[in-house]
Amino acid sequence: MTIDINFVGLIIASIMASSVPLILASCGELITERSGVLNLGVEGMMIIGAISGFALMTVTGNLFIAVIGAMLAGVLISTIFAFLTQTLITNHVATGLALTIFGIGISAMIGKNFVGIPGKEFPVLFGNLKDAIPFLSPILFGHSVVFYFAFALPFVTNYFLKKTKIGLIVRAVGDSPDSASNQGINVRLVRYLCILYGGAMCGLAGAYLSMIYTPQWIENMTGGRGWIALALVVFSTWNPIKILIGAMIFGGLTIVQFHMQAIGVRIPVQFLTALPYIVTIIVLVVISRDSRKIRLSTPSSLGKSFYKDN
Amino acid sequence: MHKIFIRSFVSSLVFLFTFTVASVAKDVKAAFVYIGPTGDHGWTYQHDVGRKAVEAAGYKTTFVEGVPESADAERVLRQLANSGHDIIFTTSFGYMNPTNKVAKEFPNVKFEHATGYKREHSNVSTYAARFYEGRTILGTIAGSMTKSNVIGYVASFPIPEVIRGINSFTLAAQKVNPNIKTKIVWAFTWYDPGKEAEAAKALIDQGADIIAQHTDSTAIVQIAEKAGVYAFGQASDMDKFAPKAVLTSVENNWGPYYVDRVKAVANGTWNQKDTWHGIGDGMVVISDLDSALPADLKAKVNQLEKDLASGKVHSFTGPIYDQKGNLMVAEGKTADDGMLAGMMTYVKGVEGDIPK
């Protein structure tokens, strides 16, 4: 088979499109975790975003309202988590799991009336340039605004955490809430905001799935992507750029294994299907093997409740 | 791990809920056990449409969704049998052993197991649909409509039901167009819109201009619509999701059978049987043909549908060879139901190996 560069461009574009929800959810969760809060409710927040976006799109017909609404729905459900873990000081892990169960259940309930309805076409940017440049065009042009946002996000997040004062505050709160509190930082407020931000990004990730990637609503349509996003945060050692790499590898192998099947490569299909999970972990472990750096970027008080600061 | 935990948790919640709302009327009560959520717009959704037909016929029904094919299924079945249900439909292959086990404990309750073959007790019946007949029609359309001669096929799991579908589709397509190739991609899921979309995209990128699917979501037909290629709907009429792409759909129509069996219980005429209905009995329905089909093809397809219904044409008519060229069905013969039920080899013309 001859390798056609346009074909490669198309594949890369598919890979990028499939990694968008992972990047969004992981970058959101990253900020939450850097502030010292472990929210295992990513899957739940995503599915809430998915149904809210789809429902609003169907009812109002306005895509802008639907996208914003999905993010607000993510914020709303993460407020419950924030209230429980920060104000009532409940256990992060248990509350996060409950949030996922709650999200899946309530989305199914709301979604009952939206099954079997086709979604609307989501507008793309630079669609007229789709064939302008070989190879590069399918990668750069003809995508939704959420797509471009997702690929800017890891860099913005990196800059935010490393170079801005607020980023420093978030990291301080995650590493040593006591010292941060002694410096006059309102630890609880910072953590609240980081949780809500994470909720908004997960909501957006869900909306991308139900409105742009596969415009439809069916129950459990996030299909475990929330858990993969969570794993990416950990394996990338809380580094947004590595999240981008991990998400691309994961999405990439999922798609490449389908291509290998279609070409007829004689490798057991079960192995091919497991490949994305295995390789993503190996690669992220290898690129993150510097233990000093891991210690620096791991939020030291991740998942620990903070009692003072009343 | 988490997912399994959550699924069973959610299903037990749903389970509790279902029982609190179950009524206590004396009429015949039917219960349905579903593998997925009723909101999947695929397999379970179509069974639930059938359940609603039973309701509409004036019977009380209960359903439990998202029941894992494990010990959980036994518990659910026992609960349903204990709470006054007269007939219980278990709608997934994996419920085969639990259904037979619980049926032994409740000889007065009738059990109906979908897609299985075990009827160990006199109160267990089995039923399934000859979906492969529908796929013969899809194959005929695909073979006639393809320009690239590459047809993509998104498959779910390597089980006889799916292999039979691939074979039936390919045989029909080859009959009208000996040059076609069926490229198969295994998604290893029944429904995950994202994954199905990626599988379909890969096939389209590799030159397939018609995509068939044996997974449940509408993602594939939507991708086909965007890419400007043709596709076929699965389980329900998916035309509204992709008006240009969908040439027709194969619909699962369980309603008439369900109403029939519940009525039989009410009249005291229920007896054990093994039902395998196809187009002729209306369990498999072909949706309206798309206007993209030329008139002569439409006429041909309509005739084929009639012939499959009457039994004049059989999807597996010899000579049929496997991939290595060994004769599977001799000239003039048709494959018997035993062979169809256990079909685990590809016919000649299908590319690749069946995953083991």
- Residue B25 CB contacts under 8 Å (≥ 6 apart), including other chains: B60
**Pick from A101, A118, A223: which is nearest to B194 by CB?**
A223
The encoded tokens of residue A84 equal: 């429980």
Amino acid (one-letter) located at A5:
I
Round to whole Å and give the CA distance between A23 and B35: 31
The encoded tokens of residue B324 equal: 């290595």
Mutation target for A interface from B192, B196, B229: give the one with most A CBs within 10 A: B192
Q: Report helix, strand or coil for B100.
A: helix
For tokens 């209230």, what's the residue? A83
DSSP code, position A127: G
Q: How many CB atoms lie within 10 A of CB B356?
A: 8
Q: Sign of the C-alpha dihedral, residues A143, B194, B229, A56? A: negative
Round to whole Å and give the CA distance between A21 and A27: 10
DSSP code, position A212: I
DSSP code, position B322: B
Burial degree of B2 (CB within 10 A; 0-12, 13-18, 19+): middle
For tokens 């278990």, what's the residue? B90
Convert the pLDDT of each residue in A85-129 to its tens digit. 999 999 999 999 999 999 999 999 999 889 888 888 888 888 777
| Predicted local distance difference test score (pLDDT) of residue B11 | 56
Round to whole Å and give the CA distance between A111 and A113: 5
A88 in contact with chain B, both atoms CB, cutoff 8 A? no
- Render the burial of A6-15: b for 16+ CB within 10 Å, e for the rest: ebebbbbbbb
**Residue numbers in B near A18 (CB within 8 A):** 194, 198
**Pick from B13, B202, B353: which is nearest to A255 by CB?**
B202
**Average pLDDT of chain A, as a whole number:** 90
Convert the pLDDT of each residue in A213-223 to its tens digit. 999 998 889 98
Give the ipTM of the model, two decimals please.
0.82
**Residue numbers in A near B13 (CB within 8 A):** 105
| Predicted local distance difference test score (pLDDT) of residue B69 | 87
Cβ pairs bridging A and B (under 8 Å): 131
Stretch (H or E) spanning B110: strand B110-114
Mean pLDDT, rounded, for A44-55: 97
The answer as to CATH 1.10.3470 being correct for domain A5-297 is: yes
H helices within chain B, ranges in order?
Answer: 2-21, 43-56, 71-82, 96-105, 131-145, 160-176, 193-205, 219-227, 255-267, 295-310, 337-341
Burial degree of B9 (CB within 10 A; 0-12, 13-18, 19+): middle
pLDDT along chain B (356 residues), means of 10: 54 52 62 89 91 95 91 93 95 93 95 92 95 96 95 93 95 94 90 91 93 93 94 92 95 96 94 94 95 96 96 93 92 91 90 83
Amino acid (one-letter) located at B32:
F
**Residue numbers in A near B222 (CB within 8 A):** 118, 214-216
Torsion of CA B116, B121, B122, B126, to 10 degrees: 0
The encoded tokens of residue A73 equal: 């729905």
The encoded tokens of residue A67 equal: 């996208």
| Predicted local distance difference test score (pLDDT) of residue A310 | 46
For β-strands B327-329 and B320-321, DSSP reports them as antiparallel
Mutation target for A interface from B4, B5, B6: give the one with most A CBs within 10 A: B6
- Cis ω before A177 (30° cut-off from 0): no
**Pick from A21, A108, A216: which is nearest to B219 by CB?**
A216
| Predicted local distance difference test score (pLDDT) of residue A282 | 86
User: For residue A145, which of A127, A126, A124, A129 has the smallest C-alpha distance?
Assistant: A124
**Residue numbers in A near B354 (CB within 8 A):** none
Contact B206 A14 (CB under 8 A): no
Contact B152 A221 (CB under 8 A): no
Stretch (H or E) spanning A67: helix A63-82
* Domain parsing of chain A, residue ranges: 5-297
Enumerate domains of chain B plus CATH numbers.
2-129 (3.40.50.2300), 131-251+286-341 (3.40.50.2300)
Round to whole Å and give the CA distance between A197 and B223: 32
The encoded tokens of residue B206 equal: 């590799």
| Ramachandran quadrant class, A306 (left: phi over 0; alpha: psi -120 to 50; beta: rest) | beta
